[in-house]
Amino acid sequence: MRTFAKGRESARRYLWRYPAGAAVILCIAALSGAALAAGPRHAIAMHGEPVYGPGFSHFRYANPDAPKGGRLTQGIAGTFDSINPFVIRGNPFQQIRGYVVESLMTRSQDEPFTLYGLIASSVETDDARSFVAFTIDPRARFSDGKPVTADDVLFSWNLLRERGRPNHRLYYAKVVKASKIAADKVRFDFGNAGDRELPLILALLPVLPKHATDPLRFDEPSLSIAPGSGPYVVSEVRPGNLVVLKRDAGYWGRELAVNRGHFNFDELRFEFYRDTTSWFEAFKRGLYDFRIEDDPSRWTIDYDFPAARNNGLIREALETRTPKPMMAFVFNTRRPIFADSRVREALIELLDFEWMNAKLFHSAYARTGSFFEGSVLAARGIPASAAERVLLASYASTVRADVVSGNYQPPISDGSGNDRARTRRALALFNEAGWVLREGVLRRKDSTAAFQFELLVTKREDERIATIYATMLRRAGVIATIRMVEGGQFEARRQQYDFDMIPVTWQQSLSPGNEQFFYFGAASADQTATRNYMGMKSPAADAMIEAILRAKTFEELTTATRALDRVLVSGLYVIPLFHLPRQWVARWPHIERPATLPLQGALPETWWQRRAAR
């Protein structure tokens, strides 16, 4: 009872501090961490209990009466040369996952991290989460009619562990033993891993058909893919330009509660545009159905076009309840020029957000100062709790005092575009690190070597922001060269960490876990194609991630995540940029959505095409 009372109190504090997250309280109402009941269950939550009981009919953010039919066309900026999203080679089309290839279980999008049965009709684990077992729904079929079996699950686990993306290899290698219990049941044992998220990680295993997948060629880029068990099949592929998915008329899972109100279109078209100008112009002409906009100038000015006025374009600013994305310029600390944290701090000082926001972005952005910005998990502006201080005690030297006290904020300029105080502060930091300004160029104190680096980009919007930042840097004698490359080259260089600085966006959830090792863990710094772009190797970060994985209650998770946030902010690994307080969505009126939104806002899987009036 005492633990449950603590959980309720933490939920009340969350509701008071974050009123927009009221719906989240429903999904963390049982924060007690009580032992799971023995035997099979329909769902598994990372913390507490699932919101939806065994007999639920549909997720509340989906409309079970949504009409079926029609087409949804999505416009995507970029290109692709493969439709295999499970390997690192190539520039893949990612939407195969979920639409064509399913996992054992699927997420509820109005809970931090709860999974419900999909291919697996039930899940079993113990209180220590030392194992997980899945029973396969006897109805589950691949699109070629073959049943999904335990052999397919074990084949998929082993294949992705050996040849999949680095995150798959990292997660699935933690399995000590994988067993086929029956033709329709598998079990994964984790030994003493102490990682409470592993059962959920395995539940999200993509299930591939053993009978139709060539393991020897699996890690090659490909424009074809084996049959999946999902609601759509691949109908057409034009490399770099178009992917068409069509509804599988025989889809086995269409009546599952988790799918009611989902996948309402008969056809999904994904059309690719090489530059953002043509991408937007195509939307103005009605060539695709919706946009999630992130450009304040475009949102403020460019949506007032004749077709928008005449055809009733719907524009919405949606409330989201997940952490705002961390969009930043990232230092590659593998490069000697960025090894000194004083250099990194100086470069952070020189970004004049206030001027940029007012002059270029209609003051629409807010400055990002946390890797979990805008959520209960963020440490920004909050003094470290006693529990956080205990976690950080052994790493006190790596966490800034102002970050621990809650006083740290990203530098604030006078908005003039030439804040001399900020420049003086930056030059003082450079001087401490061995750099001095000579005749307008920042140079080594003991040589003529200039301070210069390359900022690699692939999008025009990023090029614009990078160019403005480079101009700001010149006031301190820093030479930043902006290099624009096409998407495939950018991705290849990013995967190999062949860059000085790049723009990156990390998307976080309300239930961080193993992916934090992939983002920030020391082991991932030397592995290709991880998201540890900065190359950080921090024992403090690793320890905080371990604490996240040990958390049994949402309160413990919040404590550990805020502590990780303090470590990341203190390390000065990125130049934090900005975020939109709300999600901007424009859609043509023939596309409708449910009134209730999931945590992340727009969810096209639940939309439908309006029926024409008779």
Lowest mean pLDDT, pick from 7-16, 53-62, 250-259, 401-410 = 7-16
- The pLDDT value recorded for residue 295 is 92
Task: Assess if residue 533 is contained within a domain.
Answer: yes
**148 in the same domain as 120:** yes
How far apart CA 306 and CA 440 sit, in angstroms, is 50
Q: Given a cut of 80, is residue 28 above it in pLDDT?
A: no
Q: Given a cut of 70, is residue 612 above it in pLDDT?
A: no
**145 in the same domain as 258:** yes
**72 in the same domain as 191:** yes
- Give the count of beta carbons closer than 10 Å to the beta carbon of residue 500: 19
Task: Assess if residue 588 is contained within a domain.
Answer: no
The overall average pLDDT reported for the chain is 92
Specify the higher pLDDT residue, 90 or 324: 324
**153 in the same domain as 50:** yes
Task: Assess if residue 377 is contained within a domain.
Answer: yes
> Domain end: 277, 305, 335, which one?
277
Q: Given a cut of 70, is residue 459 above it in pLDDT?
A: yes
> Domain end: 260, 277, 294, which one?
277
**67 in the same domain as 25:** no
Task: Assess if residue 216 is contained within a domain.
Answer: yes
Q: What is the DSSP letter of 224?
A: -
Place of tokens 């449910």: 594
How far apart CA 333 and CA 324 sit, in angstroms, is 25
**269 in the same domain as 172:** yes
CA distance to 46, 107, 258, 598, per residue, from 511 (Å): 8, 12, 20, 15
CA distance to 105, 348, 454, 455, 489, per residue, from 463 (Å): 40, 18, 12, 9, 15
Task: Name which of 136, 137, 144 is nearest 213 in CA terms.
Answer: 144
Residue 31 DSSP SS3: coil
CATH classification of the domain holding 402: 3.10.105.10
Q: Given a cut of 70, is residue 46 above it in pLDDT?
A: yes
- Mean per-residue pLDDT, 579-583: 96
- Mean per-residue pLDDT, 461-467: 95
- The pLDDT value recorded for residue 170 is 87
Provide the whole-model pTM. 0.83
Non-local (6+) Cβ contacts of 504 within 8 A are 327, 328, 329, 330, 531, 533, 574
- If residue 480 lies in a helix (H) or strand (E), which one and from where to where? strand 479-484
**49 in the same domain as 13:** no
Residues 275-291 pLDDT 10s: 889 999 999 999 999 99
- Mean per-residue pLDDT, 201-225: 95
**273 in the same domain as 254:** yes
CATH classification of the domain holding 56: 3.40.190.10
**227 in the same domain as 123:** yes
**332 in the same domain as 232:** no
- Give the count of beta carbons closer than 10 Å to the beta carbon of residue 392: 24
**85 in the same domain as 158:** yes
Give the structural domain span for 403.
Answer: 326-431+501-579
- The pLDDT value recorded for residue 341 is 98
Residue 462 DSSP SS3: helix
Residues 504-535 pLDDT 10s: 999 999 999 999 999 999 999 999 999 999 99
> Domain end: 236, 254, 277, which one?
277
Largest CA distance in the chain: 81
Residues 214-253 pLDDT 10s: 999 999 999 999 999 999 999 999 999 999 999 999 999 9
Task: Assess if residue 68 is contained within a domain.
Answer: yes
Task: Assess if residue 310 is contained within a domain.
Answer: no
Q: Given a cut of 50, is residue 14 above it in pLDDT?
A: no
Query: Structurally, how many domains does the chain consist of?
Result: 3
**26 in the same domain as 137:** no
Q: Given a cut of 90, is residue 2 above it in pLDDT?
A: no
Question: HEC states along 127-172?
Answer: CCCCEEEEEECCCCECCCCCECCHHHHHHHHHHHHHHCCHHHHHHH
Residues 340-393 pLDDT 10s: 999 999 999 999 999 999 999 999 999 999 999 999 999 999 999 999 999 999
- The pLDDT value recorded for residue 299 is 96
Task: Assess if residue 99 is contained within a domain.
Answer: yes
- Mean per-residue pLDDT, 592-604: 97
Task: Assess if residue 548 is contained within a domain.
Answer: yes
How far apart CA 183 and CA 231 sit, in angstroms, is 24
